[in-house]
Amino acid sequence: MPTHDRFAALRERMAYEAARIILDQGASTFDHARRKAAERIGVTDRRHWPSNEAIQEAVLSQRRLFPGGLDQTVLRRFRAAALEAMDWLEPFAPRLIGDTLSGALNPTSGIELLLFADRAEDVILTLMELRIPWREGERLFNYGSGQRRAHPLLRFIAGDVRVELIILPLQARRHPPLDHISERPLRGASRDAVARLLETEP
């Protein structure tokens, strides 16, 4: 087998091993799953490691090959919960991102929403009015300009679903951060797009 094909096959094998680690063990990040896959297969040269996008595609491919009724039920429940949260948070133009949008759920998945507001306090006031307790944090994003910025993050539990609200400035609607998987602008799905996903699901 030519060297190029051999390395391509190796990356594909690593991507599927990383996907299996994510699905079976709930690895917290693609990087963690990729490192464990590299250790198991014995690939030390990072040039031959798969990209985040390749790992995500492997996760989705395995879900298509081995569909589970429970997984589909959980995905539908998460998307329905996301839609409800988006209705509450409509003034902040919410966008669904992450595993609940892509369908690549794992044991650590939850709902991730981008919100747009000049002040995090405006979102906090809404949570207070809804009597939702939260914890504060931050999320780092890269931007196409080369900047790396931290944005406020609010976490809470809705029933048994973990919800994360990432608060971006209003100008980020036109100039969004980059998706850490594809490295393309992270636009997410609107409330109407999520509703359409639910309508087309079995």
Domain count, the chain: 2
| Co-location of 60 and 85 in the same domain | no
Q: Is 52 in the same domain as 126?
A: no
Among the candidates 15, 32, 65, a domain finishes at 65
Report the 10 Å Cβ neighbour count for 138: 11
- Same domain for 10 and 77, yes or no, is no
Residues 61 and 73 in one domain: no
Residues in the chain, pLDDT under 50: 69-70
pLDDT at 102: 87
Using the 3D structure, point to which of 11, 43, 65 is the last residue of a domain: 65
Indicate if 176 and 111 belong to the same structural domain: yes
Cβ atoms 88, 127 nearer than 8 A: no
Residue 145 belongs to a domain with what CATH number? Answer: 3.30.460.10
Full residue range of the structural domain in which residue 42 is found: 3-65
| Residue 114 and residue 158 share a domain | yes
19 and 55 fall within a common domain: yes
Shared domain for 51 and 129, answered yes or no, is no
pLDDT in tens, 103-116: 877 777 899 999 99
Predicted model pTM: 0.75
- Token duo for residue 36: 């464990």
176 and 98 assigned to the same domain: yes
- Strand (E) or helix (H) holding 158: strand 148-158
Contact predicate 130/109, CB 8 Å: no
Under 8 Å between Cβ of 74 and 56: no
SS3 113: strand
Give the tokens for residue 80: 């329905």
Domain boundary among 11, 35, 65: 65
Contact yes or no for 137/153 (Cβ under 8 A): yes
Residues constituting the chain: 202
Q: What is the pLDDT of residues 158-179, one digit of tens each?
A: 888 999 999 999 999 999 999 9
Together in a domain, 132 and 188: yes
73, 61: one domain: no
